[in-house]
Amino acid sequence: MRYGFYLPTRGPTATRDGVLALAREGERLGFHSAMIADHIVFPVESKSEYPYTIDKKHPGGGDALETFSILGVVAGATERLRLVTSVLVLPYRNPVLTAKMVATLDVLSGGRVTLGVGVGWLEEEFRALASPDFARRGAVTDEWLAIFKQLWTTSPATFKGKFYHYADIRCEPFPLQKPYPPIWVGGHSPAALRRTARHGDGWHPVGAIAASPLPPQEMRAHIDTLKRLCDGERRDFSKLAISYKAPLYDVGIPDRDGTRRSFSGSPDEIAGDIRSYAAIGVHELIFDCRGESIAASIERLQRFAAEVIPLVG
């Protein structure tokens, strides 16, 4: 099992010193990857449903550091951490420019980029950025992925799609990783699973923040569906990375049915949960250890590394 953690993008801990301290300590402790979320603007009021809380409402706020800017700073301050977008909302950015940014970061980081992608949920943010039509964001995302793969492997390149086109351009240098940086598709909707089978090198579902994580039996059902979809696309399921972002609780928390939530309670209980997810095919678990201060965040990382990881085996 590999482990990752989230870096702060918002609030009082989202400073240069804070981001670098947490990233460097995570690397020192042997964590595999660091994750960066993606938001650019927030509306004062929103009617969009947030998919990761029970009440479907976003926790709020208006500040957010930009994803690629954070990754560039962290790339220069670390040597081994995988740098993961979790997840980049593809329709927010021009696809050719985004392809160039990812390739540049991969070259300058020594080939450490993993591109986690999603279609987005905040319609007001789409409008503020003059992004393609919110209702067609899935089709746009698929087209952007096709553009990325072409521009990272072919030069000169020509593309004519429903939403974007270009002719006879060079977009070099190519990424250091071959054929290109791994693409992880976020979400566990039917569309996300189809997109993973068709375009992804990994599946990256995200557990709810204020609700239960995906229980093992539900995760297993999604993995079985993904296997069938990969067979239909004639793609080798065994080559997909399965990376799950799960809530981590310091104390035992009852679920809605009264049982203990996964990844809550004692180190022994959490280690047992990790083994359960490993048994159904999860390769990497991403735990959100962000606290109200960088010191608290680092302490949570250290405690997990010292008390839980050795118990997993």
Question: pLDDT tier at 111 (50, 70, 90 boundaries)?
Answer: very high
Q: SS3 string of 214-248?
A: CCHHHHHHHHHHHHHHHHHCCCCHHHCEEEEEECC
| Position with higher pLDDT, 296 vs 261 | 296
Question: pLDDT tier at 151 (50, 70, 90 boundaries)?
Answer: very high
CB atoms within 10 A of CB 79: 11
Average pLDDT over residues 149-153: 98
| Position with higher pLDDT, 58 vs 288 | 288
Question: Is the pLDDT score of 7 beyond 60?
Answer: yes
Distance between CA atoms of residues 132 and 136, nearest Å: 7
Distance between CA atoms of residues 291 and 309, nearest Å: 20
User: How many domains does the chain contain in total?
Assistant: 1
Distance between CA atoms of residues 208 and 210, nearest Å: 6
The domain that holds 259 is classified in CATH as: 3.20.20.30
DSSP 8-state code for residue 64:
-
| Position with higher pLDDT, 172 vs 63 | 172
Average pLDDT over residues 259-288: 94
Parallel/antiparallel/unpaired status of strands 2-6 and 202-204: unpaired
Distance between CA atoms of residues 169 and 167, nearest Å: 6
Q: Which two tokens stand for residue 67?
A: 């994803």
Convert the pLDDT of each residue in 135-144 to its tens digit. 999 999 999 9
- Max avg pLDDT among 39-43, 63-67, 102-106, 261-265: 102-106
Round to the nearest angstrom and report the end-to-end CA distance of the chain.
Answer: 9
Q: Of 57-71, 179-193, 200-214, give the lowest mean pLDDT range.
A: 200-214
Task: Answer yes or no: pTM beyond 0.85.
Answer: yes
Distance between CA atoms of residues 45 and 16, nearest Å: 29
Domain range for 172 = 2-312
**CA 210 from centre of chain:** 18
Radius of gyration for the chain, computed over Cα atoms and rounded to the nearest angstrom: 19
Question: pLDDT tier at 247 (50, 70, 90 boundaries)?
Answer: confident
Question: pLDDT tier at 55 (50, 70, 90 boundaries)?
Answer: low
Report the chain's mean pLDDT, rounded to a whole number.
93
DSSP codes of every residue in 252-312: --B-TTSSBPTT-SSHHHHHHHHHHHHHTT--EEEE----SSHHHHHHHHHHHHHHTHHHH
pLDDT given at position 112 = 98
Q: What value, to the nearest 5°, has the Cα angle with vertex 87 and ends 85 and 92?
A: 105
Convert the pLDDT of each residue in 200-246 to its tens digit. 999 999 875 545 578 888 999 999 999 999 999 999 999 999 999 98
